[in-house]
Amino acid sequence: MRQLISSGSTFERDIAYSRAVVDGDWIFVSGTTGFNYRTMTIAEGLLEQTEQCLKNIVDALTQANASVKDVVRVHYILPNAAEFPECWPVLRRYFGEARPAATMFSAGLADPRMKIEIEVTARRQS
């Protein structure tokens, strides 16, 4: 059974995608940025954006009856790879117990205000 999860962000509507898709026990969370999707505002700093990315991801996982403990794969995308170590303390706080497989990419993001985008795959524990 397939379930679509939305954060209510205008991006999802405009670009035609879901914040997350649940397929059986698998949860695929789309690349998630530091926008507060309720207010469509974004903080300037990398740490604040990282924190908001993860809050957005936790919200999607919660809607899928899962948590960050269920995350098995994470992709980090940053325009400036040299800044990646700055957000490690936040990432450890969220993923320290799950310790998912991870990859960091350096690439341009859709909006120049964005400093990080995070995508996760999770599998609910039966």
Provide the terminal-to-terminal Cα distance of the chain, rounded to the nearest Å: 15
Q: pLDDT tens digits, residue range 75-120?
A: 999 999 999 999 999 999 999 999 999 999 999 999 999 999 999 9
Q: Tell me the CATH number of domain 2-123, given options 1.10.1660.10, 3.30.1330.40, 3.30.499.10, 3.40.50.720.
A: 3.30.1330.40
Q: Which of these ranges, 6-10, 71-75, 96-100, has the smallest mean pLDDT?
A: 6-10
Amino acid at site 78: L
Write down the pTM of the prediction: 0.93
How many CA atoms within 13 Å lie on the side-chain side of 26? 8
pLDDT value of residue 13: 84
Q: pLDDT tens digits, residue range 21-69?
A: 999 999 999 999 999 988 999 999 999 999 999 999 999 999 999 999 9
Q: Do you know the residue count of the chain? A: 126
3-state secondary structure of 108: coil
9: confidence class by pLDDT, cuts 50, 70, 90: confident
Site of tokens 């789309």: 30
How many CA atoms within 13 Å lie on the side-chain side of 71? 27
Question: How many Å apart are CA 39 and CA 37, to the nearest integer?
Answer: 6
Domain residue ranges in the chain? 2-123
Residue 7, burial from CB neighbour count under 10 angstroms (0-12, 13-18, 19+): buried
